[in-house]
């Protein structure tokens, strides 16, 4: 059975696309189950990943086309061969890189395989398969109908964003939607089938994880992509103009990552409208998330207490304004409807006393990142292990950070840190960690995370493998080259598993 956040435990952060395999990116099939087996052998209680929705702008998992749907690129293809839906020779035609994800090529290959699977599925009319598929469609109708129609219309219009569709479709005219549903029936059926396959494979994956006592940690971005089924279908929930364009967008003020802040560009919620509906959309979103994951990380938790509102006309995030979020009101509804709040509050950034009070009132663990512990920022001491609260999750770094090796050896001057600042942090880290030779600084940092009194310690796989900046997952504020990193199966050696397991035993993070 899966662990609980209140237990002293450890885990690894790695996205499924980074898993090994011959089909362009990792998926949720056999290699994912092998990863879970490795995690169990290394005494890891958690597998944390990034959002798993269908990718949108910039291939970012944080810019998904749906808050409910699964990413088709994560569907494992080998099981479809076993079911007779794909010819094995078709998989043999793949000639895709394994070191990094080539998203255009991977998308082209995997979608062609899924289309072949759909053609065979609908042609052979297997009664049991069709009964299972129909049951899924009925069970998930609340989001699936709109998502499938969104994807079908989008593909019929060269994948342009929905605000550029013909006005009757953009504005969801009933007659126009009825015609599209009729004309695009095959495409709609295809999209629903892919989601059913994803759902079946995910259930298999989660059962495998539970059998190995490994919990799955998901990630819930507070905002959703503008070019998504959610915004197109529920325009009344967002600040949009008459043509569907955002009037205000989300982001964060200037911080550690950027001197001009981050202008995410996502539309902002009309929280008063959501409240009048009993937060129905959020309840459905979180219920869907917790059918897939044991725990969910709430990205940008600060935004629930107060959020940075940027006029859409602004080119960056400097001229934004703090606005009041829904606060405890939303979470009291979620707790009542979901029966609990198995959540991690990503509380990094401009945290205020009111944000801390909300987090603590809800009993949610916050986040401590060791890379933030050794600088001159006034908040740096909060990230030192001896200052961690027990109810916290400690990380060496996150998907938005450089790897530990990259961070440590960075000479500064190009990003937010100056050369002088990086040297201060290096010296402070070595002094605190008690090391003179930094050739294994990544393991020194992992040991410090495990030794922390924080009940949960999670480490990016790149740090476990001792990789440098070339393995960084994301550079906030940039578009090219992100989300592409992958590892090889041969990287996961028994020696690494035993080293992790030994640390887990030493610091009481291994379950009995």
Q: Active-site residue numbers?
A: 299, 346, 400
Helix H or strand E segment including 305:
helix 302-305
Distance CA 25, CA 74 (A): 8
Find the Cα–Cα–Cα–Cα dihedral 502, 503, 507, 512, rounded to 10°: -50
Q: Give the pairing of strands 295-298 and 343-345.
A: parallel
Question: Which of 393, 442, 476 lies closest to 11, judged by CA?
Answer: 393
Distance CA 397, CA 445 (A): 10
Contact 26, 474 (CB under 8 A): no
Please answer whether residues 17 and 483 qualify as being in contact, where contact means their C-beta atoms are separated by less than 8 angstroms: yes
CA distance 15 to 11: 13
Distance (Å, whole) CA 332 – CA 451: 34
Ramachandran category for residue 412: left, alpha or beta (phi over 0 → left; psi -120 to 50 → alpha): left
Which of 325, 322, 328 has the alpha carbon at shortest distance from 350?
Answer: 322
Positive or negative torsion for Cα 215, 221, 224, 227: negative
Those residues whose C-beta lies under 8 Å from the C-beta of residue 46, and which sit 6 or more positions away, are 3, 9, 10, 11, 12, 214, 215, 216, 217, 295, 456, 458
* Closest C-alpha to 477, from 306, 251, 158: 251
């Amino acid at each position: 059975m899966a662990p609980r956040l209140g237990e002293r435990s450890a885990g690894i952060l790695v996205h499924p696309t980074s898993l090994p395999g011959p089909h362009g990116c990792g998926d949720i099939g056999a290699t994912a189950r092998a990863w879970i087996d490795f995690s169990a052998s290394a005494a890891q209680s958690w597998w944390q990943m990034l959002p798993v929705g269908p990718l949108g702008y910039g291939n970012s998992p944080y810019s998904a086309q749906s808050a409910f749907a699964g990413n088709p690129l994560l569907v494992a293809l080998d099981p479809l061969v076993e079911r007779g839906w794909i010819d094995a020779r078709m998989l043999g035609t793949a000639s895709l890189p394994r070191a990094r994800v080539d998203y255009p090529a991977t998308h082209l290959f995997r979608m062609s395989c899924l289309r072949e699977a759909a053609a065979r599925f609908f042609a052979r009319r297997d009664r049991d398969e069709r009964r299972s598929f129909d049951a899924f469609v009925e069970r998930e109708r609340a989001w699936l109908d709109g998502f499938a129609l969104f994807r079908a219309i989008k593909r019929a219009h060269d994948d342009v964003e929905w605000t550029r569709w013909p006005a009757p479709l953009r504005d969801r005219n009933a007659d126009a939607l009825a015609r599209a549903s009729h004309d695009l029936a095959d495409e709609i059926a295809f999209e629903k089938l892919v989601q059913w396959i994803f759902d079946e494979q995910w259930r298999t994956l989660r059962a495998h994880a539970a059998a190995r006592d490994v919990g799955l940690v998901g990630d819930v971005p507070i905002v959703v992509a503008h070019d998504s089924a959610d915004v197109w279908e529920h325009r009344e929930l967002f600040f949009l103009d008459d043509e569907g364009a955002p009037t205000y967008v989300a982001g964060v003020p200037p911080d550690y990552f950027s001197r001009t802040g981050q202008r995410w560009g996502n539309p902002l919620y009309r929280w008063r409208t959501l409240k009048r509906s009993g937060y129905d959309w959020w309840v459905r979103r979180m219920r869907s998330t917790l059918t897939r994951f044991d725990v969910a990380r709430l990205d940008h938790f600060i935004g629930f207490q107060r959020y940075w509102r940027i006029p859409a006309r602004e080119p960056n995030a400097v001229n934004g304004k703090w606005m009041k979020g829904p606060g405890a009101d939303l979470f009291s509804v979620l707790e009542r409807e979901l029966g609990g709040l198995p959540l991690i509050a990503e509380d990094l950034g401009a945290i205020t006393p009111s944000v801390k009070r909300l987090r603590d009132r809800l009993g949610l663990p916050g986040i401590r990142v060791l890379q933030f512990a050794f600088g001159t920022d006034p908040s740096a001491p909060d990230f030192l292990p001896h200052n961690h609260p027990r109810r916290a999750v400690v990380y060496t770094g996150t998907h938005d950070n450089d790897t530990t090796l990259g961070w440590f050896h960075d000479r500064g001057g190009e990003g937010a840190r100056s050369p002088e600042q990086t040297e201060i942090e290096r010296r402070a880290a070595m002094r605190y960690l008690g090391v003179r030779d930094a050739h294994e600084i990544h393991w020194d940092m992992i040991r410090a995370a495990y030794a922390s009194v924080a009940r949960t310690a999670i480490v990016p796989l790149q740090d476990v493998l001792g990789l440098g900046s070339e393995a960084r997952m994301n550079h906030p504020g940039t578009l090219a080259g992100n989300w592409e990193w992958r590892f090889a199966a041969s990287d996961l050696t028994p020696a690494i598993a035993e080293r992790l397991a030994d640390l887990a035993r030493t610091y009481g993070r291994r379950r009995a």
